[in-house]
Structure 1
Amino acid sequence: MNHIPNLTTLVLNADMQPLSWGPLSVWHWQDALVAVLQDRVSQVCTYEHEVHSVSESFKIPSVVALKKYYKRKRVSFTRYHVFLRDGYRCQYCGDMFDTKELTFDHVTPRSKGGLTNWTNVVTSCQRDNLLKGDKSLKQAGLRLLRQPFEPTPHQLDECARRLQHKDVLHESWLDYLYWDSALDE
């Protein structure tokens, strides 16, 4: 039996755009293959790898498309989405950090009635979070790069798209992810 690498399948909406950029919409290849065999999605591209049943062989899908258009209405409020909205940039000092070096901060501290929501939480480096502590921005001597806001799915996808590294994506995905890039790149 051939070893199948840990492959993922890009999932496109019915309009052939990624279902989501933040995070990029992917399924494990087995889930994608089952969806293809159940006729829930269309197989767009395949990997060279195959899997075999007793009587048939199947190419592993690298890109699939939903048969019905799925409209996302809202973005869920998560730590990852806050970091993505803010571009992994501390909203106080402006520096970019890896996820493990970031935290989030309540602009109006919870102890002073601040809520944990899109309009009161920002990405912060650990140093500035400690500096601010339980103080207001003025008391801490800090200013925000921009006011926090609730992003639309489209805005969050644009943030993720700007931060996506092309070198970690399978080449069969690129035509569906970067369709508006210059043709000679």
Structure 2
Amino acid sequence: MTEASKQPRSTYYQAFVRDKFRCVYCEKDILESFDSFAASHLDHLKPESARGPCEDVWNRVTACGVCNSLKGAYDPVPGEHVTEENFATAVANAKDYIQKKRHGEANTSYFRDYQYWLEESAKIKAQSKR
């Protein structure tokens, strides 16, 4: 029988340690609070919908809930699997995609909806002060 300490660690454990307990996309400290930890995800860097391997550690990354939601089904390495060799490139591609969505450089409903609700809430707050 294999000793527990010599058994391979889970994919989650390996990715979480490799990623230094931070979201690989925005560098949010996942352990800064219980809420941050509870809202974190073990993301498929290459989505299953793009035939990314489910449990390969190079295809799994630590992500905060916001970045994982913004990334969605984006495939950072079309036509390739994520490997140790292209891991940094895949993360950089996904990070760039997410940042463009986050800053309104990509045409997304998230950003449009956010802008709309900022304006609506300002109007409602102004009306309630009258």
Q: What TM-score, normalized by structure 1, do the two folds share?
A: 0.34
Name the larger-Rg structure: 1
More strand per residue: 1 or 2? 1
